Amino acid sequence: MTGQPFGPEVVAAVSRHMNDDHAEDSLLIARTLGGCPNATRARATGLDAEGMDFAVTVDDIEVPVRVPFAHRLTERAEIRHEVVRMYREACAQLGIEPRDAD
């Protein structure tokens, strides 16, 4: 499968949800999996089957950061599971206890 399984409405809905309800989770993901340990803010800007894109603020400069998924996603329901996995991995790397995300 070479096409992208998620249309613009799904991408917009997921990005909005991440930014409205999970901004701190996005920041943890950007600091660890995104390779920006000094980030002070992260905003989801998009996603596709391969990963999620963020606009990350480092030293008062916003830079694009892409965090790849562990595997190619093909269904919308997989997005939540993968973002939860990334959040938990970020928490583990930072040595903090993740909240119950399930």
What domains can you pick out in the chain, each with its CATH number? 8-91 (3.20.180.10)
* Res 16: pLDDT: 98
Looking at residue 44, its amino acid is: A
The model scores a pTM over 0.85: yes
**Torsion angle of C-alpha atoms 69, 88, 90, 12, degrees rounded to 10:** 50
pLDDT at 3 > cutoff 90 = no
Structure tokens at 26: 């996005």
Q: How many CB atoms lie within 10 A of CB 42?
A: 28
Work out whether the CA dihedral 87, 89, 94, 96 comes out positive or negative: positive
* Res 51: pLDDT: 98
Looking at residue 71, its amino acid is: H
